[in-house]
Structure 1
């Protein structure tokens, strides 16, 4: 999994924070829960939840050491923590310790999603809850599948000969069965088409540069900007105009 720069992510993460803020507005807690935030990134949203837990606690985990380092630099902002841990969502180092697991805009970066869902089920206490928000499958190509298309071009294919897709976009119709097989029951499932206007090709390019390191880390440094430029150009025909990002979002409320 990619080791994203926490500093760079903070600079371009307005989309992720805006989308997650909508879900946070609907997050119901009584203030005493122990919460696990999977894919905490730079810790911004983890700290937002911590402020709602005066009698509880929250742990944020991310597979990216640089993300965890950036999150830890800010320090605790509430009695609830947070504490940040570097861990792969597919191999969580926790037993059934949490009342709730949350994950906003992160699990689509887990290639084997079922392993992460089983880990969530194992980390939640009996009767505990989970709230997952992630990009899901769609008839329209995603920015990630477009990146895979670009890798097959003559210029790039030699760099990606043994490369496999570093993401998972589940079909919403299959997600319920997958969750159940992993020990989670779905209470509510919604799918929504979203779009975000970066307002310019330059801003969209900056966002892709940070978010596509799973691809560009395999390239010589002098080729990376050209790869991102081709990705942005190719994706423009998918989105319909420059600077527009479109995606399908799955939101699931679950319990063990």
Structure 2
């Protein structure tokens, strides 16, 4: 599951018994060597899809972690890119990574539920962060994304089709979520990380309630399932011009 450069079992146990912020501060130096990082194949496919819709002016990576999404934005934004995260450890690693100097990049430590920005971005992206928010927090998060976009700007993120009930992946994710719920019932502070709490149908409705016009784009790089549905989609939520 992890490369030799990834965290040890002991390190993961310490992180899992911490708060989300402290856990990711500890995980940050080895985060890019874990399955928690969004795969390059997904990042590249999203960049390709966004390039067809761009170019964009300014971009924001919401819950940027070590900055993989910032690298996507740097490919499609001309004027500048910002990465925002509440983990100081993640931001420290992100700052250390070498990046092309073509697009200015800046980093901000802040809670995504209370963004310190005015509506000045043309594109907001997020990768793999929604499991760290309880379902009741997502409407507020989407309102925050809406509030920092210029009219006509877009909030984009990939969504993977849920594994079938008969697949090992389904039971692995169910088991993980169950362990996390037991952990949070018995231990404080809580560590919010649930893979099955993000329900695409409900998410699309909440995006619309937040004021977005929403569309889905299949990412052809990942093909389709047996029923013909895409394995991976890009959600593009656009703030209306008026």
TM-score computed with the length of structure 2 as normaliser: 0.68
For 1:181 and 1:50, locate their aligned partners in 2 and report how far apart those are by CA, in whole Å: 30
Q: Which residue of 1 aligns with 2:187?
A: 160
When residues 12 and 157 of structure 1 are mapped into structure 2, their CA distance, relative to the original with a 3 A threshold, is closer
For 1:157 and 1:108, locate their aligned partners in 2 and report how far apart those are by CA, in whole Å: 14
- Decide whether the 8 Å contact of 1:191 with 1:251 is kept in 2: yes
Q: Which residue of 1 aligns with 2:202?
A: 174
For 2:79 and 2:146, locate their aligned partners in 1 and report how far apart those are by CA, in whole Å: 20
When residues 73 and 182 of structure 1 are mapped into structure 2, their CA distance, relative to the original with a 3 A threshold, is same
- Decide whether the 8 Å contact of 1:41 with 1:68 is kept in 2: yes
- Decide whether the 8 Å contact of 1:63 with 1:86 is kept in 2: yes
When residues 170 and 159 of structure 1 are mapped into structure 2, their CA distance, relative to the original with a 3 A threshold, is closer
What's the Cα RMSD here? Answer: 3.3
In the alignment, which of 23, 33, 36 is matched to residue 11 of structure 1? Answer: 33
In the alignment, which of 111, 122, 140 is matched to residue 147 of structure 2? Answer: 122
Q: Which residue of 1 aligns with 2:213?
A: 185
Deviation at 1:110, TM superposition (A): 2.1
For 1:181 and 1:58, locate their aligned partners in 2 and report how far apart those are by CA, in whole Å: 27
- Decide whether the 8 Å contact of 1:108 with 1:136 is kept in 2: no
Give the number of equivalent residue pairs: 199
Asked if 1:149 is matched to 2:178, the reply is yes
In the alignment, which of 66, 71, 85 is matched to residue 47 of structure 1? Answer: 71
When residues 26 and 152 of structure 1 are mapped into structure 2, their CA distance, relative to the original with a 3 A threshold, is closer
In the alignment, which of 146, 152, 158 is matched to residue 133 of structure 1? Answer: 158
When residues 253 and 48 of structure 1 are mapped into structure 2, their CA distance, relative to the original with a 3 A threshold, is closer
Deviation at 1:74, TM superposition (A): 2.8
Q: Deviations over 1:129-157 (max 9, x none)?
A: 1112246766644755422423577xx68
Deviation at 1:58, TM superposition (A): 0.5
SS in 1 for 2:150: strand
Q: Deviations over 1:5-61 (max 9, x none)?
A: 2221122356533322221122126445111111222113413432443x4111011
For 1:169 and 1:136, locate their aligned partners in 2 and report how far apart those are by CA, in whole Å: 14
SS in 2 for 1:251: strand
When residues 135 and 92 of structure 1 are mapped into structure 2, their CA distance, relative to the original with a 3 A threshold, is farther
TM-score computed with the length of structure 1 as normaliser: 0.64
Which consecutive unaligned segments of at least 5 residues does structure 2 have?
1-19, 223-230
For 2:128 and 2:181, locate their aligned partners in 1 and report how far apart those are by CA, in whole Å: 27
SS in 2 for 1:177: helix
In the alignment, which of 58, 82, 97 is matched to residue 74 of structure 1? Answer: 97
For 2:184 and 2:131, locate their aligned partners in 1 and report how far apart those are by CA, in whole Å: 24
When residues 176 and 30 of structure 1 are mapped into structure 2, their CA distance, relative to the original with a 3 A threshold, is closer
For 2:124 and 2:218, locate their aligned partners in 1 and report how far apart those are by CA, in whole Å: 18
For 2:206 and 2:44, locate their aligned partners in 1 and report how far apart those are by CA, in whole Å: 27
SS in 1 for 2:112: coil
In the alignment, which of 57, 60, 82 is matched to residue 33 of structure 1? Answer: 57
For 2:69 and 2:127, locate their aligned partners in 1 and report how far apart those are by CA, in whole Å: 9
Q: Which residue of 1 aligns with 2:111?
A: 88
